[in-house]
């Protein structure tokens, strides 16, 4: 995973609460056994007017002109501004894979569904949480100001707008460190392999039925 | 000693290491895998040259992406018509074979929807930590285990380390007192709870379901309830262990026997919240207030009693809600003020990890018996949750009841719950569905889902529109 410290980019608004992972990447694209290539089908049902199928050439599909990502002013956006409970529903990691593949590095919302939030960090995406009124302010600015950008600094946990407003955000120390260092989390856990083995022996003594049942 | 909730006890028992910032290394006892969220995890292991930490913890089966059609299924994996789907199912078989993981293959006895299979085989046991790359893993919490969904990166993490790096959730308790009315099922209870607390109501929490309604409920009913904890925003749903839990587990394939059984079952009896444990959030509901529930919108919280009218967005004070309701009704092709019972259905789906166990199939069969599917209904799919459920239902002759009524009795799988295979809705079609999500496009692009209980879905299939099943049941039946 690539390290993430600071990101400045164009903001695209998705003014909708409870955006679920079926909406982010519909199920027909979950048949793939790869991690990449989901970007063209991000928000497929909202973005295109026809029915999406895997393997289509998306460049020739009829697009929904009303969908924000299809508007010229939001082309090349790398920051998604959206509403509460983003990423609810299924645990599919294909959702952050699709967002990342499309080119989003940062999401800004008042809240996220737990599994989706977790999945973002595994894929170098920073899901920023701001207060509802701050989100409201940003929606107004992104609508008003052409080419509205945000400068997101993970190290200092701040966002600075083009209009020089500053917002602070919170996140867990561990998640922050993993993003900043681009750490291999499996490698990190394996550094504690001795502890895990010790725990496992202890557990097998106490609850032996948990071990060996499935062969 | 500080009083503990059941969740606290399960967490403490599995804690390997706690970091100063609260992130923790948690040991995982059981890992359930399926074809859709595992291939990238196995590939990750291969790329890093890693092996699974422990083999006897993993159990796999294909469910999401397989055909439920008898003829297609009988041709085996090579008979899956869609090439991309075929590759995915084959990849699971190959990965399990290569790494030595126990898999119940597509047509093997034991195969089924992951959350039906785990408990029925005794692969998930009380007191365990259980994870799976599927958000409905909360289902297993009905047995008093700590179970939740994970992403594919975490599937790889668990395969490689047997641990998850995670943070402790908060404790929430939803208590439902009293006794459920006739025709009111576990599905109605969980839908009513979601209606009350909303789809983000449980975010960041583990929900324990408590009170007489859950004590009186069967283990399969508790699974239906825990299954949809995620639709209330909670990754984890739990019910304390009692005698019903113990007798449910006894004798199942992977459940310990002899002295191990005696030790295990006496430990399991301790898996209850202490009476003076404190919860961060409490919700109390009276069972008498719960009627059969039906969703009218595009989120599980957009739910109402079957006797109600579709709400009018203009009655909503909050702007966000008003906008959401308006958009949902437009998608659903419904007007505010319409009686729920006047909504016609084009297709009916009875199945999914929420409602495809033998009790669900019996509940539907009881309503259907002696009736015919309404002429206006294009298709009724009855999809058992596993090979074992299918065999049991057929032994009881339930398949014949459905077929006589003009319904399709299918092979086990996730089917039209997420419509990855050929089982899907057409644009604009309304579906009475026993599944768990009524999101836009969930059951097929442009499809319109109404979530409800198996009894309610079966009655809708016969009537051709949504009906109050309480008017249909023989007296004294519940």
pTM of the entire predicted model: 0.96
Domain boundary among B132, B166, B200: B166
Q: Is the CB of B50 less than 8 angstroms away from the CB of A186? A: yes
At B175, which helix (H) or strand (E)? Answer: strand B170-177
> Among A118, A109, A57, which residue's Cα sits nearest to residue A84?
A109
B261 part of a folded domain: no
Tokens encoding B194: 């979601």
Of A92, A195, A213, the CB nearest to B37: A92
Residue B413 burial (10 A CB sphere; 0-12, 13-18, 19+): buried
Tokens encoding B300: 């599980």
Same domain, residue pair B303 and B186: no
Same domain, residue pair B128 and B11: yes
What CATH number does the domain containing B182 carry?
Answer: 3.40.1060.10
B279 part of a folded domain: yes
Same domain, residue pair B98 and B181: no
> Among B379, B461, B458, B454, which residue's Cα sits nearest to residue B184?
B454
Q: How many CB atoms lie within 10 A of CB B323?
A: 16
Domain boundary among B223, B258, B289: B289
Phi and psi angles of residue B386, each rounded to the nearest 5 degrees, phi first: -160, 170
Are A130 and A111 in contact by the 8 Å Cβ rule? The answer is no
- Mean pLDDT, residues A87-106: 97
Tokens encoding B416: 């039209």
Q: What is the tens place of the pLDDT at every residue in B255-311?
A: 999 999 999 999 999 999 999 999 999 999 999 999 999 999 999 999 999 999 999
**Strand ranges for chain A from DSSP E:** 6-14, 79-82, 106-109, 126-129, 149-153, 158-161, 166-168
Tell me the chain B residues in contact with residue A93 when contact means C-beta distances shorter than 8 Å: 37, 40, 133, 151-153
Using CA atoms, how far residue B181 sits from B185, B186, B470, in Å, is 9, 11, 9
Q: Which of B12, B16, B303 is the best mutation test for A, with the most CBs of A within 10 A?
A: B16
Distance CA B55, CA B76 (A): 26
B252 part of a folded domain: no
Q: In whole angstroms, how large is the CA radius of gyration of chain B? A: 22
Within an 8 Å CB–CB cutoff, is residue B85 touching chain A? Answer: yes
B259 part of a folded domain: no
Q: In whole angstroms, how large is the CA radius of gyration of chain A? A: 20
What CATH number does the domain containing B27 carry?
Answer: 3.30.499.10
Are B381 and B353 in contact by the 8 Å Cβ rule? The answer is no
Considering its fold, how many domains does chain B have in total?
A: 3
Partner A, chain B 247-266, Cβ-Cβ below 8 Å? 254-256, 260-261, 263-264
Partner B, chain A 82-101, Cβ-Cβ below 8 Å? 83-85, 88-93, 96
Is the C-alpha dihedral spanning B421, B422, B426, B429 positive or negative? negative
At B474 the pLDDT is 57
B251 part of a folded domain: no
Within an 8 Å CB–CB cutoff, is residue A203 touching chain B? Answer: yes
Same domain, residue pair B148 and B217: no
Rounded to a whole number of angstroms, the distance from the CA of A23 to the nearest CA of chain B is 7
Q: What is the tens place of the pLDDT at every residue in B410-435?
A: 999 999 999 999 999 999 999 999 99
Q: Is the CB of B82 less than 8 angstroms away from the CB of A31? A: yes
Same domain, residue pair B153 and B214: no
- Above pLDDT 90, what percent of chain A? 93
At B478 the pLDDT is 42
Are B121 and A213 in contact by the 8 Å Cβ rule? The answer is no
Distance CA B32, CA B55 (A): 12
For residue B131, the cross-strand partners are B31, B148
Distance, CA of A176 to chain centre: 14
Q: Is the CB of B419 less than 8 angstroms away from the CB of A27? A: yes
Strands B23-27 and B15-18: antiparallel
DSSP codes joined into one string, B92-148: HHHHHHHHT-EE--TTSTT-B-HHHHHHHHT-S-TT-EEEESSGGGGGGGGGT-EEE
Using CA atoms, how far residue B40 sits from A9, A126, B46, B335, in Å, is 29, 21, 10, 44
Entry field: residues in chain A: 215
B120 part of a folded domain: yes
Is the C-alpha dihedral spanning B131, B132, B138, B141 positive or negative? negative
**ipTM of the shown complex:** 0.94
B262 part of a folded domain: no
Q: Is the CB of B157 less than 8 angstroms away from the CB of A185? A: yes
Same domain, residue pair B280 and B303: no
Same domain, residue pair B57 and B13: yes
Distance CA B109, CA B119 (A): 15
Q: Which of A133, A189, A193, A215 is the best mutation test for B, with the most CBs of B within 10 A?
A: A189
Are B254 and B173 in contact by the 8 Å Cβ rule? The answer is no
Same domain, residue pair B117 and B210: no
Within an 8 Å CB–CB cutoff, is residue A47 touching chain B? Answer: no
Same domain, residue pair B178 and B159: no
Tokens encoding B369: 């018996």
Distance CA B350, CA B382 (A): 5
Across chain B, which has 478 residues, the per-10-residue mean pLDDT values are 95 95 94 98 96 97 96 93 94 98 98 98 98 98 98 98 97 98 97 97 97 98 98 97 98 97 98 98 98 98 98 92 95 98 98 98 97 98 98 98 98 96 96 98 96 98 97 59
Distance CA B114, CA B131 (A): 11
At B219 the pLDDT is 98
Same domain, residue pair B137 and B45: yes
Distance CA B437, CA B443 (A): 9
Rounded to a whole number of angstroms, the distance from the CA of A10 to the nearest CA of chain B is 25
Q: Which domain holds residue B46?
A: 6-166
Phi and psi angles of residue B278, each rounded to the nearest 5 degrees, phi first: -105, 135
Phi and psi angles of residue B347, each rounded to the nearest 5 degrees, phi first: -140, 160
Tokens encoding B198: 């909303």
Entry field: residues in chain B: 478
Same domain, residue pair B309 and B408: yes
What DSSP state is assigned to residue B82?
Answer: S
Q: What is the tens place of the pLDDT at every residue in A32-57?
A: 999 999 999 999 999 999 999 998 99
At B210 the pLDDT is 98
B198 part of a folded domain: yes
Same domain, residue pair B129 and B209: no
How high does pLDDT run on average in chain A? 95
Distance CA B167, CA B161 (A): 17
Are B388 and B112 in contact by the 8 Å Cβ rule? The answer is yes
Tell me the chain B residues in contact with residue A88 when contact means C-beta distances shorter than 8 Å: 199-200, 233
> Among B350, B383, B384, which residue's Cα sits nearest to residue B367?
B350
């Amino acid at each position: 995973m690539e390290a993430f410290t600071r990101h400045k980019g164009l903001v695209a608004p998705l003014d909708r609460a409870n955006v679920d992972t079926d909406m982010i990447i519909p199920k027909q694209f979950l048949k793939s056994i790869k991690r990449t290539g989901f970007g063209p089908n991000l928000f497929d049902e909202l973005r295109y007017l026809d029915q999406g199928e895997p393997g289509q050439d998306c460049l020739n599909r009829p697009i929904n002109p009303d969908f924000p990502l299809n508007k010229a002013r939001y082309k090349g956006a790398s920051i998604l501004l959206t509403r509460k409970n983003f990423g609810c529903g299924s645990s599919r990691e294909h959702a952050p894979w699709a967002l990342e593949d499309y080119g989003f590095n940062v999401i800004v919302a008042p809240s996220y569904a737990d599994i989706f939030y977790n999945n973002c960090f595994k894929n170098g995406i920073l899901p920023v949480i701001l207060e509802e009124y701050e989100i409201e302010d940003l929606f107004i600015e992104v609508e008003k100001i052409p080419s509205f950008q945000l400068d997101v600094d993970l190290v200092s946990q701040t966002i600075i707008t083009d209009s020089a407003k500053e917002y602070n955000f919170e996140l867990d120390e561990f998640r922050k460190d993993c993003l900043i260092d681009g750490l291999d989390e499996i490698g990190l856990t394996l550094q504690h392999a001795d502890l895990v083995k010790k725990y496992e022996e202890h557990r097998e003594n106490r609850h032996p039925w948990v071990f060996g049942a499935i062969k | 000693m500080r009083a503990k909730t059941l969740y606290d006890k399960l967490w403490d028992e599995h804690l390997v290491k706690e970091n100063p910032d609260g992130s923790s290394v948690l040991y995982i006892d059981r890992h359930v895998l399926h074809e859709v969220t595992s291939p990238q995890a196995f590939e990750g292991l291969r790329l890093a040259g890693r092996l699974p930490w422990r083999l006897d913890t993993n159990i796999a089966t294909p469910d999401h992406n397989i055909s439920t059609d008898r003829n297609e299924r009988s041709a085996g994996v090579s008979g899956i018509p869609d090439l991309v789907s075929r590759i995915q199912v084959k990849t699971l078989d190959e990965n399990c074979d290569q790494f030595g993981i126990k898999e119940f293959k597509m047509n093997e006895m034991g195969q089924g929807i992951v959350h039906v299979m785990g408990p029925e085989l005794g692969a998930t046991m009380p007191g365990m930590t259980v994870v799976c790359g599927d958000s409905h893993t909360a289902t297993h919490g009905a047995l008093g285990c700590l179970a939740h969904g994970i992403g594919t990166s975490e599937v790889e993490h668990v395969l490689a380390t047997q641990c998850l790096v995670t943070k402790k959730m908060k404790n929430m308790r939803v208590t439902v007192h009293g006794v459920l009315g006739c025709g009111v099922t576990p599905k109605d209870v969980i839908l009513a709870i979601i209606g009350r607390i909303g789809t983000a109501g449980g975010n960041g929490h583990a929900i324990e379901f408590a009170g007489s309604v859950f004590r009186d409920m069967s283990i399969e009913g508790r699974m239906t309830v825990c299954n949809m904890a995620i639709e209330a925003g909670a990754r984890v749903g739990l019910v304390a262990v009692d005698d019903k839990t113990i007798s449910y587990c006894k004798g199942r394939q992977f459940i310990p026997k002899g002295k191990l059984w005696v030790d295990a079952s006496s430990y399991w009896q301790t898996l209850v919240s202490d009476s003076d444990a404190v919860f961060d959030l409490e919700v109390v509901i009276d069972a008498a207030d719960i009627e059969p529930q039906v969703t009218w919108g595009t989120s599980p919280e957009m739910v109402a009693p079957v006797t109600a009218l579709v709400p009018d967005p203009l009655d909503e004070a909050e702007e966000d809600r008003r906008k959401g309701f308006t958009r949902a009704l437009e998608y659903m092709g419904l007007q505010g003020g319409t009686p729920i019972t006047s909504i016609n259905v084009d297709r009916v789906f009875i199945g999914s990890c929420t409602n495809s166990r033998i009790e669900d199939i019996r509940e539907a069969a009881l309503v259907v018996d002696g009736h015919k599917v309404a002429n206006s209904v294009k298709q009724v799919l009855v999809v058992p949750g596993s090979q074992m459920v299918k065999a049991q239902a057929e032994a009881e002759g339930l398949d014949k009841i459905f077929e006589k009524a003009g319904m399709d009795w299918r092979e086990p799988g996730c089917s039209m719950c997420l419509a990855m295979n050929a089982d899907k809705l057409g644009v604009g079609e309304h579906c009475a569905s026993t599944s768990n999500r009524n999101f836009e496009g969930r059951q097929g692009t442009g499809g319109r889902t109404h979530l409800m209980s198996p009894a309610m879905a079966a009655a809708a299939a016969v009537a051709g529109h949504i009906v109050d099943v309480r008017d249909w049941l023989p007296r004294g039946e519940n």
